[in-house]
Structure 1
Amino acid sequence: MDSAAHFDHIIIGAGTAGCLLANRLSRDPARRVLLIEAGGPDRSPWIHIPVGYLYCIGHPATDWRFQTAAEPGLNGRRLRYPRGRTLGGCSSINGMIYMRGQREDYDGWADATGDDAWRWDNCLPHFIAHEDHWRLQAADPGLTGAALDGFLRAHGQDGEWKVSRQRLRWDILDAYAQACEQAGIAPTPDFNQGSNAGVGYFEVNQHRGWRWNTAKAFLRPARHRRNLTVWTGAHVESLIVAPDSGGGWHCSGVQVRQAQGRTALTAAQGVILSAGAVATPQILQASGLGPGDLLQRLGIPVRQDMPGVGANLQDHLQIRTVFGVSGARTLNTLANSWLGRARIALEYALTRSGPMSMAPSQLGAFACTSGAHVRPNVQFHVQPLSLDAFGEPLHRFPAITASVCNLRPTSRGHIRLRQPGTDHEPEIAPSYLATGEDRQVALESLALVRRIAAQPALAPYAPREIKPGTDLQDEADLLRAIGDIASTIFHPVGTARMGRDGDPQAVLDSRLRVRGVRGLRVVDASVMPTITSGNTNSPVLMLAEKAAGWMLAER
């Protein structure tokens, strides 16, 4: 080692969880906190302009640019698998949608771990703790009496995490919302009170037309603290793990590589892995904590055989259906000329609104695909645009995209090292559509999309199905077409999950401590036993808030 440094807490990953943890732990001036980020500062203007996600995803300065393995369920296709590579992590490149999920998700975590701390009622205060909701700041006239009381019980104000309404609307999306109602999906004013059933416009993590990432929300207010150190461009090579006097193992620190050399860092009160559902199992495996047979094949000394490290990968797969429309204003028609793009840029410059303030999806809906489901099992992301694939040019005809994803897939994939160390991209195999249940939900989802498109509210726009195409009706043909057009919605979770004592697949206990390794916690999306029923960014903030409280109390 070229040098050595000593801290109380070392947090690996300055993403969604890491930024909040750094803020909370460094509130105690007696704690020396180091936050390590392999990427750079969040200085790119495209991070902060909402539509800039189009330029951040796939750019080496802001995205790790991972790819999946060839997926049998997707007809052998490999998908891009974006992960944030900058301060703020995925909150700097994601879709900015504020979504907590469903009450039953968290009650299921409590059942899986045997710890009632994870029940919805006990998680809700940790959502509220950092929330700053626009309806409580704007004196919304719709919030009075019982409605206001209920909203105050479910939402917060004056926290760091801005929750805003979107700054534009589209007639075609208003019509799509009406079509959802005609198809039996009731409107909802709030997706985030424990049941997200219904249709409505998403709320977003923005502030005055700018993206609001976790680096702005949690890290910026704490950077002046003398007990908080932030390193960027710092690559974690491995955890420092040695035998413990109690017969297990002890993680005393990390080995980090920077441009100026290698550093051995020690953490008196523990190391916190917040590198995300891909990099966290990668670092654990590289440190000898993982499936013993995999580590032996790679020549990595097995410190602890943990088959659950890298297993249980879950993700939301979206079926991107495209409908051409007539007589409708869509982004396809607005942005396919220099004049149109100039007008869009001017509107954003003057008012911080218009298409440049757009989240990737504006309208959302949660519904059941069949009577077999007692709560919504699919989520719609509806967009006033269309393209062949993410990153490709917009189509030159007016169209909308209605993406629908299975909220609770039963397929399970994995993250595995291909080579020793953390310098190489791991194998990412989500195993989409690997189960008959997931394939059935995919077929039901497409039937629901078609039923909505046939409703009277959309008739004035003469929707015509372009993808997958109305000529496809046979189940086998439809499944092949789904495999051609489906894509990840970038919600990997579960690869270092928590669970009950005695569960050989549970990497963590219910308080997010790595089993058998003193001084090591995981706090990111990899801890989830099952994926939440919606976008995953805000649930990660909640669990980080909860974990910070536990760590502050332990001293």
Structure 2
Amino acid sequence: MNEYVDYIIVGSGPAGSVIARRLSEQTSNSICVLEAGQNDNNFFIRVPVGFVKTLYSGKFTWNYQTEPAQATNNRIIAMPQGRVVGGSSSVNGLVYSRGQREDFDDWEKLGNSGWGYADVLSYFKRSERRVGECDPDFRGLTGELPITNPDWSSPLCEAFIRGCEEFGIPRNADYNGAEQLGTGYFQRYIYQNKRVNCSDAFLRPALKSGRVQLKTNATVSEILFEGRRAIGVKYLRNGQTHTLYANREVILSAGAVNSPKILQLSGVGPHELLAGHGIEVKHALAGVGANFRDHYTVRSISRAKSALTLNELSKGWRLGREIVRWFAGKPSILGLSPSMVHVFWKTRFSPQRGDVQILFTPASYKPGSNYVLDDMPGMSTGARQQRPESSGYVHIQSKDPLQAPLIQPNFLEHELDQRTLVEALKLARQLMTTTAMAPYLVNELQPGKDVHRDDEWLDYARQKGTTGYHMVGTCKMGRQDDPMAVVDAQLRVHGMENLRIADASIMPQVPSANTLAASLMIGEKAADMISAQ
């Protein structure tokens, strides 16, 4: 028996959840959300620090990996992505960061009319409920996603911020407001000590409308076409293949890895790639899977004098106390995001506009581990370039929809990325050695005192860097005469009908920020475009 709905949304992450919510409010049409993962009712999804249990478990994520690349010493780098209701908003680091206004003005300059900062600001504001003092000209006050400041702090965090001020970097209470540059505490989507994922904020209320249904454990294997018109999808569930038809549109919101993968499996993508795997080419579109970008991030680790870093607070009787406090609704380390303090700053390579970000946390992790806290008092910084020039690709390896694609980000391939990241790492060291930090710092453990020259810093970056979990660009938005563009400014796939993409894959460049906020904005804007048809 064939199933029909008006709209099919592939993916329940940030953009997909928002689109489902808004379409359920704006239209009387039927909507089905297909999610490859399971439900999000696990306890560790609700506890903010539960990400240490979920991000690399494989239970709630696609355990993707990069291909080796010479620029990163031929290492294979883990790149997990959410595979659960709520997508990566259920397993990520909880930071809410929009980016610079110039990021979106750049999108518009690339030929995407209606995507400048003045156009997208209202869409950022629509979904957020800023809790705390802010400028309502820039911030949303009535949206569904609560954005809060940390209610737990550490003397080390305050010392680091004072050290930034000592260095000449001003304190900025709202990097999502008028100006991003400066230092302060990260804002996050944690409310009353719990993670608020996009399922909580958007999808679950949409399901209550009766116009939205959700199918979990449903892996889309192919988009169905009549000519170049999308008419539905095939998906795998419980070992069987099912077919679902769309009366109006198919909307891909599966993320920067899975959206291009599904297109390629469906015969939409680079001709040579598809033909090489024996896939009928429905529409040759060279940009599908190209332009893959991410924030390559390198951590430095220092030993602390303090006996009250998160390393100590997470063990023994102290951890028991923090658990009790969390259940009592009081400030607790269980209610924290992994990075607490931000620095947005600029290097000599971008004197007019911030181009690097430093992250600070009063904790350190055991070498080679995935977020296992160290046994000694420790602190760490992360350094990244805001807008990397290096780009790579996502390519299917076969017709098998269950086989992971090849992911090659080409981190550090571009010389500017190398130079800028070295400047960011040197800045991070300077910020750890200020007068304000002196009472807490014992010594730098990684990379250590022997690393000084730029080539030594770069070698360290090649050895230790990893994903920032901010994957974008593989279904780039751009004009039809751009040979690498996949969607137009209305997010419609070039050359196709009734097929739209709305997720981080459409971003032509990675924003100077984490990607959840911009993905929500894309979902909000997409919903208006879809309902206006």
Asked if TM exceeds 0.5, the reply is yes
Report 1:102-251 matches (<5 A): 102-115=100-113, 117-135=114-132, 140=133, 151-243=135-227, 249-251=228-230
* Matched letter for residue 334 of structure 2: M
Determine which of 453, 468, 471 is the counterpart of 1:474.
453
Query: Which residue in 2 is equivalent to 1:368?
Result: 346
Partner of 1:143: none
RMSD in angstroms over aligned alpha carbons? 1.4
1:167 aligned counterpart, secondary structure: coil
Q: Deviations over 1:163-188 (max 9, x none)?
A: 11112001011101111111121110
Shift of the alpha carbon at 1:29? Answer: 5.1
After TM superposition, the runs of 4+ consecutive aligned structure 1 residues lying more than 3 A away are none
Structure 2 residue matching 1:66: 3-state secondary structure: strand
Shift of 1:392: 5.1
The code of the aligned residue for 2:123 comes to H
CA contact (8 A) 1:453 1:463 kept: no
Q: Residues 328 and 461 of structure 1 are in contact (CA less than 8 Å); yes or no, is this contact kept in structure 2?
A: no
In the alignment, which residue of structure 1 is the partner of 2:407? 428
Letter paired with 2:162 = Q
User: Structure 1 residue 404 and structure 2 residue 383: aligned?
Assistant: yes
Q: CA deviation at 1:242?
A: 2.8
Query: Residue 11 of structure 2 corresponds to which residue in structure 1?
Result: 13
1:95 counterpart letter in structure 2 = G
How far residue 214 of structure 1 moved from its aligned partner, in angstroms, is: 0.4
Sequence identity percentage: 33
Aligned mate of 2:95, from 87, 97, 100: 97
Give the TM-score normalised by structure 1. 0.94
Look up the SS of the partner of 2:156 in the other structure.
Answer: helix
Rounded Cα–Cα distance in structure 1 between residues aligned with 2:85 and 2:198? 8
- 1:376 counterpart letter in structure 2: G
- What amino acid does structure 2 have at the position aligned with 1:74? T
Equivalent-residue separation in structure 1 for 2:489 and 2:307 (angstroms): 51
Q: What's 2:259 paired with?
A: 280
Distance in 2, Cα, partners of 1:300 & 1:544: 30
SS of 1:310's equivalent in the other structure is coil
Paired position in structure 1 for 2:249:
270
Tell me which residue corresponds to 2:29: 31
Could you tell me how far 1:260 is from its partner in structure 2? 6.7
Q: 1:364 to 1:470 in 2, by over 3 A?
A: same
Letter in 1 for 2:29: R
- Deviation for aligned residue 1:303: 1.1
Q: Residue 281 of structure 2 is aligned with which of 302, 305, 316?
A: 302
Stretch moving more, 75-84 or 272-281: 75-84
Q: Secondary structure at the match of 1:532?
A: coil
Tell me the amino acid that sits aligned with residue 276 of structure 2. R
Equivalent of 1:53 in 46, 51, 63: 51
The CA distance in 2 between the partners of 1:443 and 1:38, in whole Å, is 39
> Partners in 1 of 2:72 and 2:324 — Cα distance?
40
Aligned: 1:314 with 2:293:
yes
Q: Give 1:265 shift.
A: 1.3
CA distance in 1, matches of 2:102, 2:429: 28
3-state DSSP class of the match of 1:412? coil
- One-letter identity of the residue aligned with 1:281: P
1:499 aligns with 2:499: no
- TM-superposed CA distance for 1:328, in Å, is 5.3
Give the Cα separation in 2 of the matches to 1:108 and 1:229.
Answer: 37
* Alignment match of 2:322 (pick from 318, 322, 344): 344
State the Cα distance separating 1:231 from its structure 2 match.
0.5
Query: Any gaps of 5 or more consecutive residues in structure 2?
Result: none
1:47 CA drift (Å): 0.4
Verify: 1:258 aligned to 2:237, yes or no.
Answer: yes
Q: CA deviation at 1:462?
A: 3.1
8 Å CA contact 2:112–2:488 kept in 1: the answer is no
Residue 59 of structure 1 and its aligned partner are, at CA, apart by 1.8
Distance in 2, Cα, partners of 1:90 & 1:390? 20
Q: How many angstroms apart in 2 are the aligned matches of 1:237 and 1:224?
A: 28
- Structure 1 gaps of 5+ residues are 141-147, 244-248
